[in-house]
Copies of this chain bind each other. A is one copy, B any other.
């Protein structure tokens, strides 16, 4: 079994706001992340697949295909976008690094599973080089 990872980047805006709370509580809990004009990050995504290398190619999966899947499923939706305003992924979830990792998994897993070549093993999202969250699916 090999764990094969491809990294990709996207630049996006977000803010933290819980609609069920007062403005005062939002500001107290989320601090400067509650700024409704938003702020942004260069996110880095790491997508890890687990599988056996094909003896004909030496590939777990073709990395060109994986790059295309990431671009189509994630970057087209999130790159140069406002995560709260431009995507449906965070209609009911605050776009924290944790929730972005889960949403990335949910976007990628069906396509990767359907391809039948390898399973999605984990998704890691860096908000900055100092902060990252990893999701390995429901277990």
Contact = CB atoms under 8 A, between A and B. Distances in A.
Contact of A40 (B11, B18, B29, B85): B11
Interface in A72-104: 79-82, 85-86, 93-99, 101-102
A24 interface: no
A98 B39 contact: no
Contacts of A130: 6-8
Copies in the complex: 6
Contacts of A29: 57, 62
A69 interface: no
Given A4-B97, A4-B133, A39 B37 contact: no
A5 B131 CA distance: 6
Contacts of A5: 131-134
Contacts of A21: 56
Interface string A35-63: 10111111000000000010011111011
